[in-house]
Structure 1
Amino acid sequence: MISPRIDKLLKNVDSDYASVIVAAKRARQINSYYHSLGEGTFDEFPPPMVETRSKNYLTIAMEEVAQGKLKYQYR
């Protein structure tokens, strides 16, 4: 089961495809952030912007999209 639901994601992005792309890119950034913690480099990747119990990076990214912390804009 996907959490948060897709209809909550679509309030902040314009299509299902865009929500997948935005969440996947942000999940990679969150993954890089956690892997860089031991190296002392914090400027390159921002930390998660939501409080969550989940350890899954994709779920964290989708929660950020659902809460409006990430904005998507098509050029």
Structure 2
Amino acid sequence: MRLDGILDKAPDRYKVAIVLSRRVLQLQQGSYPLVETKEKNPIAIALEEMAQGKIIVNMPVA
């Protein structure tokens, strides 16, 4: 999995970091993964979810 591909999907890398950190916290608190994976690391799971388009970073319109 390439981080570049994930960053290409979102206009702001800082927003990506925030969304991923929130998702990692959800996974650590017991949420089920949105993708099938053998990974146990919540960071790797969250990255895979974003790479597969299961997590979308929305930017508010000003």
Shorter-chain TM-score tier: 0.7 to 0.9
Gaps of 5+ in 2: none
Query: How many equivalent pairs are there?
Result: 60
Tell me how far apart the structure 2 counterparts of residues 12 and 70 of structure 1 sit (CA, whole Å). 11
Q: Which has the larger radius of gyration?
A: 1
The TM-score with structure 1 as length reference comes to 0.69
Q: CA RMSD in A?
A: 1.4
Report 1 or 2 for greater relative contact order, CA contacts < 8 Å, sequence distance ≥ 6: 1
The TM-score with structure 2 as length reference comes to 0.80
Gaps of 5+ in 1: 34-44
- Amino acid across the alignment from 1:72: V
